[in-house]
Structure 1
Amino acid sequence: MCSILFDAYCGLALAMEGQGYFFYSLYVFKKNTAKIRILPGRRCIFTILKVCQCRNKEENSETGYRKIPYICNMANAEKNLSVETLRGIAILLVVVGHVVGSGPGGGMKIDFPHPLRYLYVWIDYIQMPLFTAIAGWAYALKPFSASSGFGSFVRKKALRLLVPMAAVGTLYFLVQYLMPGTNNKGELSQMWRIYVFPYTIYWYLPSLFLIFVVQWWMDSRKWMDTPGKWAVCCMAALILSRINDVWILHEVPDLFSFKGALGQLPYFFVGVASCRFAVPLYSRPAVRHVMLAVALCGIALIQTVWFYPGKCASLSMLLYPVTLIPALFLLLASKWHNRFFVWIGSYAYSIYLFHGFGTSGGRIILKMMGIDAIVPILLSATFIATIGPVLVDKLLDRSGMLRMLFLGRK
């Protein structure tokens, strides 16, 4: 009986970990006393489940206790450190990628075969899929509830995503139009397009809004409440992500960045599954090994894109989602954390909204100072584009109106 209870406890712990719960160390002694080891510098409120005394192979012969996980609910604890670390890494990759530029004509205008252009191939592979998977994981933390209503859900997401897109996007358009030395200036007569079609870095916000709407609709019909149903939905999303800009869809205007939503939808589903279905995904070593093998194939695809441009590169990029999905699952299962990345991750949304001012402004300021060296520009622009939005966040947070308009917070 004791063994059954212990196994059930560990199974529950693993399942709860997938639902956003912390794991630290709990040592249960023979006399129902416990010793808890908590990560230094973190506070949490927890409930220790009583585990009856029983023999176990993992029991330490000297101390007479065995190590098992305990559960700390996210509602009573600080944010999940490992996911916040990934969030911090993801936003830094986004910033560095935009400093370098997506092509030779943007950013620092670095052409092939410079090493930074090779670095961007790696960044482009993982940055937005990781960001989207984290968004899906965060969405799945809260159980779906139809009682709140679709209208309420849409209003909250519109406030969080669309209002800042319009406010910050307008500001960015005007600054880019007025400031000398910026890339891709627009015409004032065409400014209306930034609210309807994808606009520079802000294409992601309407795409993510549409993804949230799709996910809510699917949850309302219980289409993703089991691993099997999730697999069917993810396969459909994969197919849509590969044909979202070919054939008939290529002729369809990209209204509200719906093509970006189709491209990112599978990765959002990955985040949802990594939270909801942790036990079948992570409890079997064989599944992890297969994921790792497929994820490593993605590294080979990246090399193909770089060293064999043309048809081979196009085929490799077509297969990207197949290798990215297991890679994202493994990353979200990681328990590594870093305080610096956790801190950066806590400002990830503000950095995303305002880093474009820093990437362009930092580069222009350095060139006005006569600094043309690539490395100083890269490091300085990245620093300005990362720390600047943090300061802007703190400044805007003092005003309720500005906080709502530019940060999407009440």
Structure 2
Amino acid sequence: MDQGASRPAVPRSRERRLDLDRARGIAILLVVFGHVVAQQAPEGNTWYEPVRFAIYRFHMPFFLYLSGTVVVLSGLLATAPPAWPAALRKRAVRLLVPFFGIGLFILAAKLVALQLVYVDNPPEGLGGGLRDLFLTTARSPALSVWYLLVLFLCTIVALLLRRLGSTGLVLLGLALQFLEVPPLVYLDRFASHFLFFAAGLWVAERQGRMLPAFEAWQPLWWAAFALGIAAAELEWLDARWSMVLCGLLCIPALHGAIRRPPVSAWQWPLALGRYAMAIYLFNTLAIGGGKAVLIAGGIGWTEAWFPLHVAVAMALGLGVPVLLKRLVLRRIPPVDRLTD
């Protein structure tokens, strides 16, 4: 933790933070929209790729920021070293069991589906799929699961280096942006996203000052965020630094907006937020299945049919995981806990 009397310790939060639930709901909606297209939008389409590019500048950084916030509010970062093994075992069950389970399930589902229908991002057989899933992860057949492993790695690093304080961890995250980390075991994504996790730690430890500032200066934050998105779209910055800029600027803009009316009264983000883990785990399977059925039914991956593909993908990507959670996973307590 940072040293100094100016920053009081953050007590473990026992009260449900509805702003964080709403933030997760809005963030998971953006995730599903980004997953509508696994590789390339249909030729001739001009609107989706710029929107997806903009979303990818900030939506996963925002998720990592929220995760860092929760780590502080839950008291995990304050865990005494003798209790680290137990805490990390619990964290591993929470994050790594779904990481391996869903990754292997997606790989198996794609290997079976390849015999029947069109499959996005197909694996190169069982051996190649396993290699790409866990080692050469730039070509992972289940790329969407990276967040779970990266969040686990962020937790370990934050605990081991907590004497640096949250400011030191933010500086470490900035330093990692200058490294060219190979895409092995998702370490490249850890290096590019640890900064935002550390930003969540930093803000949570100062939430008494920072959150009111986020709310009070909304026009300023949104103007800065909009300029960051414009700089990214106009390619004034490369992909890495545009994500750094937009990922940091989105924090006060989005979190402040979520805490103010009218967003603070919206109910739909709360509903999605409650199912965020299930949606994250299962949305790509639902989207891929829907796309395969549409193509098999003669509705091609074309500019003319693309709006229907988007609508179906969004409906399935959100609806199927929620129904799966409510109708099936709730009946299996260990799986229910892992997908909460």
Q: TM-score w.r.t. structure 1 length?
A: 0.68
Q: 1:273 aligns with which of 202, 208, 211?
A: 202
Per the alignment, do residues 19 and 326 of structure 1 end up closer, same or farther by CA in structure 2, a change over 3 Å counting? farther
Which residue among 86, 96, 100 is the counterpart of 1:152?
A: 86
1:234-249 alignment, distance < 5 Å: 234-240=170-176, 242-245=177-180, 249=181
- 1:309-348 to structure 2, matched below 5 A, reads 312-314=236-238, 317-333=240-256, 334-335=258-259, 336-337=263-264, 338-348=266-276
Amino acid at match of 1:257: Y
Cα distance in structure 2, aligned partners of 1:84 and 1:112: 37
| In structure 2, distance between residues paired with 1:121 and 1:99 | 13
Whose helix proportion is higher, 1 or 2?
2
CA distance in 1, matches of 2:67, 2:175: 21
The 2-side partners of 1:169 and 1:96 are apart by 20
CA contact (8 A) 2:221 2:252 kept: no
Alpha-carbon deviations, 1:206-227, whole Å to 9, x = none? 11110011112233x3x32xxx
Question: Alignment partner for residue 233 of structure 2, among 306, 309, 334?
Answer: 306
**Cα distance in 2 for residues equivalent to 1:118 and 1:172:** 28
- Greater relative contact order (Cα < 8 A, sep 6+): 2
Whether the aligned pair in 2 keeps the contact of 1:270 and 1:329 (CA below 8 Å) is no
Q: For the pair shown, which has the larger CA radius of gyration, 1 or 2?
A: 1
Deviation at 1:83, TM superposition (A): 1.4
Indicate yes or no: 2:53 matched with 1:116: no
Structure 1 contact 274–332 (Cα < 8 Å) conserved: no
Instruction: Check conservation: 2:135, 2:184, Cα contact below 8 A.
Output: yes
Distance 1:156 1:380, change over 3 A: same
Aligned to 1:64: none
Shifted more, 272-281 versus 153-162: the winner is 272-281
- Structure 1 position 191 matched with structure 2 position 119: no
The CA RMSD measured in Å over matched residues stands at 2.8
Matching residue of 1:208: 151
Pairing of 1:47-126 with structure 2 (within 5 A): 74-75=13-14, 77=15, 79-101=16-38, 103-104=39-40, 109-111=41-43, 114-126=46-58
2:278 and 2:339 in contact (8 A); partners too: no
Structure 1 window deviating more from structure 2 (365-374 vs 184-193): it is 365-374
Q: Deviations over 1:1-46 (max 9, x none)?
A: xxxxxxxxxxxxxx89x868xxxxxxxxxxxxxxxxxxxxxxxxxx
Between the aligned partners of 1:288 and 1:261, the Cα distance in structure 2 is 32
Specify the code of the residue in structure 2 equivalent to 1:244.
L
TM-score, normalisation: structure 2: 0.81
Q: Quote the Cα distance in structure 2 between the aligned partners of 1:89 and 1:283.
A: 21
In the alignment, which residue of structure 1 is the partner of 2:66? 134
Contact in 1 for aligned 2:57/2:246 (Cα 8 Å): no
Superimposed CA distance per residue, residues 152-185 of structure 1 (whole angstroms, 9 cap, x where no aligned partner): 1211111111111111111111111221200221
- Which deviations, in whole Å up to 9, do the C-alpha atoms of 1:88-131 show, x marking residues without a partner? 01111011101034x42xxxx33576101111022111210111
Once structures 1 and 2 are overlaid, which stretch shifts more, 271-280 or 351-360?
271-280
- For the Cα contact (< 8 Å) 1:274–1:329, is it kept in 2? no
3-state SS of paired residue (1:256) = coil
How far 1:191 moved relative to its partner?
Answer: 3.4
What's the CA shift for 1:151? Answer: 0.9
Q: Partners of 1:383 and 1:181 in 2: how far apart?
A: 20
Unaligned runs of 5+ in 2: 1-7
SS at match of 2:57: helix
d(CA) in 1 for partners of 2:36, 2:189: 21
* Identity, % of aligned positions: 21
What secondary structure does 2:161 align onto?
A: helix
Task: Identify the residue that residue 70 of structure 1 maps to in structure 2.
Answer: none
8 A Cα contact 2:68 2:197, kept in partner: yes
1:84–1:342: 8 Å Cα contact kept in structure 2? Answer: yes
Distance 1:408 1:94, change over 3 A: closer
What aligned pairs does 1:229-268 form with structure 2 within 5 A after superposition? 230-240=166-176, 242-245=177-180, 249-250=181-182, 254-268=183-197
With over 3 angstroms needed to count, the CA separation of the structure-2 counterparts of 1:85 and 1:148, relative to structure 1, is farther
Distance 1:288 1:232 in 2: 27
* 2:101 is aligned with 1:164: no
